[in-house]
Structures are given as structure tokens and as C-alpha cells.
């Protein structure tokens, strides 16, 4: 799952790096944050997930957040995302198989946290792209393994369309857009 995470971060940095000179003050799609705040949120999620894998708390998140300097450029925010993504990859790659940490949607293992990180990267890249007027959808090759790991009850269909549906971004065929959604981050054997 770390390769899916790595490839997701590469997708984000490539797409958004090309428009880093634009203002990211616009709302990110339908989320309440600006494109910039959404990008900072992604860095914080990746850092937090790495922290959960390393520290293995069983009942809460660690009381630590990523803070990005308000004067940082958009390119620097993308660099922070790259660093936090790599930190999560290394945390997962160096964790013993039995390592688990808390998440509100189920205590998870390293691959689960890598999958959650990849979902955050891809879904928020989609949001930011929409906010900046870009046409972009996450590749199905990255969405399919995430659906298998975190959305075990996802409907059948095109992995990209199903992923965006499961993340509450789009309707799927006759199914209306989800108003509320969550993944199942519990370790698969525990499901």
C-alpha cells in the first residue's frame, strides 16, 4: 500500500505543482476550506497517520499537528506534503506487521494508515483541482486497491467513479451523492 501512497503524492505534486503560481485562496470544490488550507490538511493527515503508526496509541490521536508557515509558497506546501507522505511510507515500511494505532473509523495497521493517507491525497487533489478549475480524476489503478482495503462494501463499477462516490464527491449511476461517508480502517481480519 505504500506504493499507492507514493504514487498518489506524485500525482498531487505533479498536477498542483504546475499551477502553484496561482492563488489557492478559492474554495476546494465543495469542502469548506480554501485550496491552500485543504493542501495543508493533507500534510497534517499524512503526518498524523505516520505518528499513529510510530507511537501506536490505542485510544486517540497524538496531541500534535502540522503547522505550515503562513508565508510558505504553494510549492513549499507541496514539498511539505511530499515530506509527510514519505514519513508515512517509512513509518509503515519499518513497522512490524502487528503494529496498530487508533483511528476513529477503526484501529488500523500500517497498510491501513498508508491507504487512508492515499485516500486523503487523492480525494483532496480532486477537491483542489475543482477549486482551481482543473479537470482531474484519480487514476483507477490507485483507486481500486483503496476501495478493496477501506471500502469493503463499495458497489461494483469503474474504480475511479466508485472511489469518488464512496468519498461523497459524486453520485454513482442512480445512487445519489452520499451526504455522509466513512471508510472502515479496521484491520481486515478484525472485520
Q: Is 175 helix (H, G, I), strand (E, B) or coil?
A: strand
Q: To the nearest 10°, the Cα dihedral for 168, 145, 187, 93? A: -120
DSSP state of 189: G
On the question of pLDDT at 189 being above 90, the answer is no
19-48 average pLDDT score: 96
Average pLDDT, the chain: 95
* Nearest-angstrom CA–CA distance, 105 and 98: 18
The pLDDT of residue 190: 53
pLDDT one-digit tens code per residue, 95-142: 999 999 999 999 999 999 999 999 999 999 999 999 999 999 999 999
11-39 average pLDDT score: 96
Which pTM does this prediction carry?
0.95
On the question of pLDDT at 25 being above 80, the answer is yes
> Which own/partner pairs from 25-30 qualify as long-range (CB within 8 Å, at least 24 positions apart)?
26/131, 26/132, 27/131, 28/124, 28/127, 28/128, 28/130, 28/131, 29/126, 29/127, 29/128, 29/129, 29/130, 29/131, 29/169, 30/127, 30/130, 30/169
Amino acid at each position: 500500500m505504500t506504493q499507492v501512497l507514493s504514487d498518489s503524492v506524485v500525482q498531487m505534486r505533479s498536477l498542483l505543482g504546475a499551477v502553484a503560481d496561482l492563488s489557492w485562496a478559492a474554495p476546494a470544490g465543495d469542502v469548506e476550506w480554501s485550496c491552500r488550507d485543504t493542501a495543508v490538511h493533507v500534510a497534517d493527515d499524512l503526518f498524523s497517520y505516520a505518528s499513529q503508526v510510530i507511537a501506536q496509541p490505542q485510544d486517540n490521536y497524538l496531541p500534535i499537528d502540522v503547522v505550515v508557515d503562513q508565508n510558505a509558497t504553494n510549492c513549499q506546501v507541496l514539498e511539505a506534503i511530499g515530506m509527510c507522505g514519505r514519513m508515512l511510507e517509512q513509518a509503515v515500511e519499518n513497522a512490524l506487521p502487528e503494529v496498530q494505532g487508533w483511528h476513529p473509523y477503526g484501529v488500523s495497521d500500517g497498510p491501513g494508515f498508508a491507504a487512508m493517507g492515499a485516500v486523503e491525497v487523492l480525494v483532496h487533489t480532486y477537491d483542489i483541482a475543482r477549486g482551481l478549475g482543473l479537470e482531474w480524476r484519480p487514476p483507477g489503478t490507485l483507486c481500486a486497491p483503496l476501495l478493496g482495503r477501506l471500502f469493503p462494501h463499495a458497489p461494483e463499477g469503474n474504480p475511479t467513479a466508485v472511489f469518488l462516490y464512496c468519498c461523497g464527491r459524486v453520485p454513482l449511476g442512480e445512487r445519489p451523492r452520499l451526504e455522509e461517508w466513512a471508510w472502515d480502517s479496521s484491520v481486515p481480519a478484525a472485520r
